[in-house]
Amino acid sequence: MAMPTADRPVLPIVLLQHMADELEVPEGFRVEILGEELVVSPAPLGPHAYLVALVRDALAPLLPRGAVSVENVSLEVTATGERYIPDLLVYPARGLRQEGRWLFPAEDAFLVVEVTSPSNAANDRVRKLRGYARAHVPLYLLVEPEEESATLFCDPVDGAYRAHSTVPYGAALALPSPFTGKLSLAWDE
């Protein structure tokens, strides 16, 4: 946790949430609460979106019954009040069908996927990794284009994932139940 300083006071999470709700951002930008900061970022670039689409398509035949994969959905880590917008999310369809709802509990997710960008890799590797584990999200897939690898984190306990498996592009990751097979990470060039 960041310590307050004269030039950087720590704001209560409720105030950050209010600020995030009221902040007017340019079209195509999004707001997340990471730790004690509001992070405003632009929509992903083409190669990033392409990787997300490949993961989404590869996941489609493996989804648990009653689950859907979606993008641009806001999750809240109930334990901390942080808000994340993962690149891809596997979530119960029934939970997403509630009219007028835009913020969903991270605890209900089956899987979250983040694709790192040079400007946000530390957030995905550290802050979101810790946040998703605190929320007991059973599976966190971190795709790293710069490293040409993907890491599946699983078994969250006490705010940390106890196991992970890293594979290079072109390999497959075995997904545990309730998913139904291996996720092929063979990207087109």
**Gap between the Cα atoms of 6 and 115, Å rounded:** 35
Average pLDDT over residues 116-132: 90
If you search the block for the tokens 């951002």, which residue do you land on?
25
Give the domain range for residue 102: 45-184
Is 127 inside a domain boundary? yes
- Give percent of the chain with pLDDT exceeding 70: 92
Is 107 inside a domain boundary? yes
pLDDT of residue 7: 57
User: Count of domains in the chain?
Assistant: 1
Query: Residue 152's domain is classified under what CATH number?
Result: 3.90.1570.10
pLDDT greater than 90 at residue 142 = yes
Is 64 inside a domain boundary? yes
Is 59 inside a domain boundary? yes
Q: What angle do CA 29, 33, 11 make, to 5 degrees?
A: 125
Is 119 inside a domain boundary? yes
79 neighbors 72 (Cβ within 8 angstroms)? no
69 neighbors 90 (Cβ within 8 angstroms)? yes
Average pLDDT over residues 33-54: 82
Is 120 inside a domain boundary? yes
pLDDT greater than 80 at residue 188 = no
Is 85 inside a domain boundary? yes
- Highest-confidence segment of 21-25, 43-47, 109-113: 109-113
Under the banding of pLDDT at 50, 70 and 90, the label for residue 4 is very low
Average pLDDT over residues 137-164: 96
Under the banding of pLDDT at 50, 70 and 90, the label for residue 1 is very low
Dmax (CA) of the chain: 52
Is 29 inside a domain boundary? no
- At 9-27, the pLDDT tens digits run 556 777 778 777 777 877 7
87: closest CA among 123, 136, 61, 138? 123
